[in-house]
Amino acid sequence: MSSRIDALLSHHSGDRRRSSITPPKHPRTGVAVLSCMDARLDLHRILGLQDGDVHILRNAGGTVTDDVILSLAVSQRLLDTREILVLHHVDCAMRHVHGDELAAAVERDTGWRPPWRFTPSVDPLERLSEAVELIATSPHLTDTEVIVGALYDEVADTVTDVCEPRAPRRWRRDAAA
């Protein structure tokens, strides 16, 4: 049985010649990008990226979850990223998702209540600011030097800096006690 995944995987055959330049394991720019998983967002085109330039983290709505914090911590601690760009977009479908309704539908269909929570916000600027704030206040991302929040407009094909570049709050466990 052939699937769409088979077609995608067959695109990369062993016969094709690879570029003589292998992208580095450590992102060349020292930047990690958090964005939405929306298939319309071609981050390489939008940001003018080449393979190996940044770490890209994508999920529903560019949501700051525990898994995103884990990935950013790995990106910083092991792979030397120091700046974070949170790139949301104007026409995000997650603006219309109600977390309790989604969880109830999953539970109804599967018999299991999902452990995740999603707090919707119809205002993309508010949602972006909240995401930047969550990253800036995370005690696990102490190697962050700059966080920038930007909003992509799909219709105008423009990116606008929304949240001022800022340094995160520094937390130390012994100082918090």
What is the helix (H) or strand (E) element at residue 100, kind and residue range? Answer: helix 99-110
Q: pLDDT class for 81, splitting at 50, 70, 90?
A: very high
CA distance linking residue 20 with residue 6, whole number of Å:
27
pTM for this predicted structure: 0.83
CA distance linking residue 168 with residue 63, whole number of Å:
18
Q: What is the pLDDT of residues 91-150, one digit of tens each?
A: 998 888 777 888 888 999 999 998 877 776 778 999 999 999 999 999 999 889 999 999
Residue ranges of domains in the chain, CATH in brackets? 21-95+121-176 (3.40.1050.10)
What is the helix (H) or strand (E) element at residue 9, kind and residue range? Answer: helix 4-10
Q: What is the pLDDT of residues 136-172, one digit of tens each?
A: 999 999 889 999 999 999 999 999 988 765 566 655 5
Q: What is the mean pLDDT of residues 70-80?
A: 96
Q: What is the mean pLDDT of residues 3-16?
A: 65
- The pLDDT of residue 176 is 47
